[in-house]
Amino acid sequence: MSLFDRIALLVLVTLIGSTLGCVETSMREGREPMDYEPLTIPQTARTQDGSIWNGATQSGSFLFFDEKATNIGDLVTVVIIEQTQAEGDARTETDANRISNVGLSSDVGFQKLVASPIQGMLRVFGFDDEGTGRAQGETLNVVQSTMNNEFTGEGTTSRSGRFTGVITCRVVGVLPNGVLHIKGRRSVVVNHEAQYISLEGLVRREDLTIENSVLSNSVAEMRLSYDGMGVLDDKQRPGFMGRFLDWAYPF
In a domain, 146, yes or no: yes
The string of pLDDT tens digits covering residues 73-103 is 899 999 998 887 777 777 787 777 777 666 6
Residue type, 45: A
When divided into structural domains, the chain yields a total of 1
120 part of a folded domain: yes
201 CB neighbour count, 10 Å cutoff: 20
Q: Closest Cα to residue 76, out of 222, 150, 184, 192?
A: 184
Per-residue DSSP letters for 206-228?
GG--TTSEEEGGG-EEEEEEEEE
The Cα-based distances of 149 to 53, 97, 100, 153, 154 in angstroms read 84, 6, 15, 14, 17
Question: From edge to edge, which strands make up the β-sheet containing 139-174?
Answer: 213-215, 75-105, 139-174, 180-190, 193-203, 220-229
Residue 22 covered by a domain: no
Could you read off the pLDDT of 232-243 as tens digits, one per residue?
A: 666 666 666 677
| Residue 212 resides in a domain | no
More confident call, 98 vs 201: 201
Q: Is 112 a member of any domain?
A: yes
184: amino acid identity, one letter: G
Note whether residue 222 is domain-resident.
no
pLDDT band at residue 35 using 50, 70 and 90 as cut-offs = low
Residue 19, SS3? helix
pLDDT exceeds 80 at position 63:
no
Q: Tell me if 78 is assigned to some domain.
A: no
Is residue 98 domain-resident?
Answer: yes
On whether the CB atoms of residues 71 and 174 are closer than 8 A, the answer is: yes
For the full predicted model, state whether its pTM sits above 0.95.
no
* 146-195 per-position pLDDT tens digit: 777 777 878 887 778 788 889 999 999 999 888 999 999 988 888 778 88
Q: Which domain holds residue 145?
A: 91-154
pLDDT band at 17 (very low <50, low <70, confident <90, very high): low
Coil, strand, or helix at residue 249?
coil
| Per-residue pLDDT, 181 | 94
